[in-house]
Structure 1
C-alpha cells in the first residue's frame, strides 16, 4: 500500500477498534489482537494503494487460504471474525459501498474437550493446600509471618478458583468490595466489563476470611489499594503468580498438572455432574453462548463412558 493510503487505512482501523471497545465492550487485549488481524489481512487484500472498496470476496478467500497454512484453525477463526466485523462496520457506516466479507465463512476449530480433574483429585488438591498451612512458631518473626501469609493467600485463591469457576484475570481483578460474605457471593467483572454475582461455598469462605484477617494485613502496602489478593511485595497479584501457584499445588498434591483454567473446567463439570442446570452454569461462568457451556456436558459423558468401560463386564 502507498504511504498515504496506508495511513488512511490505519486510521479507519483505529476508528473501528474505538467503536468495538466503547460500543461493544471489547477488552484492550482483544482490540490489540483485532488490530493485528485486520491490518494483516488488509496488507494482503489492499496492496499498492488499492482502496477498501476494491476488496472482493475472492480476495478474502485467497487471504484465508494463505493463513490456513500458517496458523491453527482456532487462530484463523478469530482472525476471520475480526475481518468480518471490520468490513461489516465499514459498510454500515458508509466507509465502503458493500460488505465483501458478508459471505466469508468462519472455519470451525477442532473441538477438544477441556482438561479437568475428577472430583476425588479436586478434593485431594484442596485438602493438601489446607494441610500445608501452619501457624508460625514465632508470630513475632517477620519472615515466618510473611511465609504464613503467602500460604493463606494461595489456599484462598485455589479455593475461590474452584468454588466459583472464575477466570484467573477475574480473580486477580477482585477488590475487597466485591466479596459479600453475608450472602457468600462474589461480584466478578468478566469479559467486556460484564458483571455477575457468583456464589461460593463454606470451605472457600473460611479460606478467604483467614487470608483477609491474618494474611493480607501482613503483605499490605500503600500500593495495595483495594485488591483482594496481593503479591509478595504488596501490589495486586500478577496472573503469572496465580498460575504458578496452581501448578505448584498440583505437584504437591500429586494430581495431574493443571492451571487455573483447568480448575474452571473442573468446577463446571462437577456442577453439571451434580445436577446443576446448564443455564445456571452458563451464568456462573459468564459464558455469552450456551454452546460454550455445553462442552462440559461432553466431558461428563466421556467420564461416564470411561467409568462404564472399567466397571461393566460387557462394556
Structure 2
C-alpha cells in the first residue's frame, strides 16, 4: 500500500496504534482484488487490492473517510463494499479527467461535472439503473462525510441528474432458466462436485459468497435431519433443513472429508466466486442454455425464486426464503413473469370481442 495507507490511524487516541493496521488489512481482504482496465487501451492489468488502488487515487483525509465508510455498517454487505470501491475508483478518474484533480476528495465532483458525466453516459447508451447506482455512491459518501465531520455538505447529485428508471424494463434483468434448462445444466456436470455446485445454489436460492464461505462443519445432524448453518448477507445466521437427496450428493462430493470448505473443485482446491463462475459458465455452454449470456450464480438464484412463484408460493414466503429485506426486491425476480402472462391473457381475451367480425377476412386470405 502507499505510505499514507499503511500509517493511517482511524482513532488518534488508540492505546495500541498497531490495531489500526490490523483493521486496515482486514478491510483490504474484505474488499479483495480487481484487475483494473487501462482507460486508453481497455486492456486488463494485473490484479491488485482494491484498497491499495483507493489509497493511490484518494487524498489522505478522503482515504481515511472511505476506509471508515466501507468498513462500517453503513455498507453492510461485502459485495456492496466491493462495488462501492470500484465506483469510487471510477469517480476518481472522472475527477481527474473533468476536474483536473490528481487525487479524489469529497467535493472534487461538482454539479457541473455530474451534468457532463450523465450526458456522456446517456450518449454511450448506459442503462439508467447503472447511472443511478453510480450516482448513489457519491450521495452516500457525501452523507457519511457530513455525519462523520459534523458538517453540512451538499451532495453534487440532485434528483434532476438521475435518469428515470422504468421498473418494468427487462433489458438489464437477470435471465431465468426454465426447469428443463436447469436440468440440462446439472446433466452436463461430469463429477459429483461439479453437480453439487448448481444444485446447492439453486436449492437454497443462495448467494455465491454464502455458499463459498460455508464449510463442512456447518453441516450438522439435528433430530434425524441434516441442517446447514449458513451465514447470509449482512452476517445473518440461517439454518436450513436440507433434502435428503441433496445430502446424499453432498456426501459423495465430500468423498469422506469431515472438515474444510463445503465446495471443492476436482483438484481439491477451495472454490471462490470466480471458480464458481467459471464452472457455471462452462456447464451453461455444455447445456446450450443462455447462448448470449453467461450462466451465473445469480441466474440460478433468480430461477429458483421464479419457479417458486410459478408453483403458487405466496410472495411473502418467497421473500423470506430469499432473505430479502424488502418485498420490492423479491418482486424484481418474479414480476416480469406475471407481466408476460397477464399481457398474453388480456391479449387473448380481446379476440372474443372481434373474433366473429374478422372471420370473413381471415377465411378470404386463407383461400388465396
* Alignment TM-score, normalising by the size of structure 2: 0.62
User: 1:82 is matched with which residue?
Assistant: 137
User: 1:261 is matched with which residue?
Assistant: 298
Cα deviation for residue 261 of structure 1 reads 2.2
How far, CA to CA, are the matches of 1:192 and 1:283 in structure 2? 15
**Per-residue CA distance 1:95-150 (angstroms, 9 max, x = gap):** 75431336345434563243112234334544x36xx77xxxxxxxxxxxxxxxxx
Tell which structure's C-alpha radius of gyration is larger.
2
Of residues 94, 100, 108, the one that matches 2:155 is 100
Cα deviation for residue 262 of structure 1 reads 1.6
- Count the aligned residue pairs: 282
* Alignment TM-score, normalising by the size of structure 1: 0.71
Distance verdict in 2 for CA 1:45–1:181, change over 3 Å: farther
How far, CA to CA, are the matches of 2:124 and 2:215 in structure 1? 41
Corresponding position: 1:161 with 2:201: yes
User: 2:119 is matched with which residue?
Assistant: 65
Of residues 170, 174, 187, the one that matches 2:229 is 187
Q: Is the 8 A contact 2:277 2:297 kept in 1?
A: yes
How far, CA to CA, are the matches of 2:348 and 2:182 in structure 1? 22
Cα deviation for residue 23 of structure 1 reads 1.8
Of residues 59, 62, 84, the one that matches 1:10 is 59
> Structure 1 stretches of 5 or more lacking a match?
1-5, 134-150
Q: Is the 8 A contact 1:159 1:203 kept in 2?
A: no
**Per-residue CA distance 1:133-190 (angstroms, 9 max, x = gap):** 7xxxxxxxxxxxxxxxxx1111221211111111223222221222345455433334
User: 1:137 is matched with which residue?
Assistant: none
Of residues 222, 227, 236, the one that matches 2:270 is 236
Does 48-57 or 259-268 show the bigger shift? 48-57
Cα deviation for residue 267 of structure 1 reads 0.2
Corresponding position: 1:176 with 2:216: yes
How far, CA to CA, are the matches of 1:208 and 1:307 in structure 2? 41
Aligned-residue RMSD, C-alpha: 3.9
How far, CA to CA, are the matches of 2:100 and 2:150 in structure 1? 18
Distance verdict in 2 for CA 1:242–1:123, change over 3 Å: same
Cα deviation for residue 227 of structure 1 reads 0.8
Distance verdict in 2 for CA 1:67–1:227, change over 3 Å: same
More helix by share: 1
